[in-house]
A and B are shown apart, each in its own frame.
Chain A
């Protein structure tokens, strides 16, 4: 039965410290990319994206990871992607799988936001969660949800998830960029979750 060594004996909400530790904040200013060294002490690492505005209109905001200290960002991954969107002029709205933004054992940068608007008031935000990136036993899962103002213009709600299909090597670094052009402005924060 499920008890014994695997039953969690709980004693109420005695731990009164926050579980998230802010590890790093990067502010983009016409940046070609933003990268972070991944922590090894946390089984969950979260990234928050705030007011990401691309220099080039209608581009994808993307990420990849490295297993060699940031020399190469090309870890094999398989991913899913789906999107809900609605045009401001009410001409189109849908929820659908987005084949163009997934990967099957690909090594390219993974899209988190497609068709991001680059006008002065347009931006996107959201979060990305990495599970146990320091594992040398299992594949490394991620989940993300972004929202913002897409080119057209339209409201967008974007979901991606998948795994880095490398069980042997820990993920050492992570890189974010636009598919074309710079990140004009925006902030990315990295937390380690206890």
Chain B
């Protein structure tokens, strides 16, 4: 655990997005998301990569477990509405996050060897959210940027509107 190096901390306040523009020097990066609070209710926290411009082709999987505070529903299932098949759209890392004053999401994303010019770039994430309709949601996303070009930057945003958040970038295994 002690081999993770904290590289950067970004504190967003009413930001449309947060970018991390250096993905070199480490073979594995981790991004940790703390207190992600959207300005717009029921929006997804999402991620995009750049090889010079954002909109890299991705294929991904998505599943989640949810449970309502009212105990009216709880389940584990695949989330077909949140995966991508060779799409250049941003990848949701969560379902609908609530924008109440005390509502937020938290979690982390691992990105493997984004500097590779040989292989596709794999990633996986795990987030927990306070849903806009008062449920907890545990979201798991995985997939790959389907490019052999280096992914040089990543961008995090909400699917609509601005956000408050603390996002930390770590590196593991010096290349």
Contacts and interface: CB of A to CB of B under 8 A. Distances in A.
Interface stretch (A10-18, A59-67, A149-157): A10-18
B102 A139 contact: yes
Interface string B141-162: 0000000000000010100000
B133 interface: no
A86 interface: no
Interface residues of A, number: 55
Contacts of B21: 7-10
Contacts, number: 165
Contact of A78 (B1, B5, B10, B135): B135
Contact of B8 (A3, A5, A10, A162): A10
B85 interface: no
A128 to B, nearest CB: 12
A159 B128 CA distance: 12
Interface stretch (B38-46, B70-78, B116-124): B70-78
SS class of chain B's interface: helix, strand, loop or mixed? Answer: strand
A181 B18 CA distance: 48
B17 A2 contact: yes
Contact of A20 (B1, B70, B137, B166): B1
Given A8-B20, A138-B103, A167-B101, A43 B166 contact: yes
Given A6-B12, A79-B136, A191-B1, 10 more contacts: A9-B21, A13-B174, A18-B5, A103-B67, A135-B35, A137-B101, A137-B102, A138-B35, A138-B102, A161-B65
Interface of B: 1-8, 10, 12, 15-22, 24-26, 32, 34-35, 37, 65-71, 74-76, 101-107, 126, 128-130, 135-138, 155, 157, 166, 168-171, 174
Interface of A: 1-3, 5-13, 15-20, 22, 43-44, 46, 48, 78-82, 95-97, 99, 102-105, 131-132, 135, 137-139, 141-143, 159-163, 165, 167, 191, 193-194
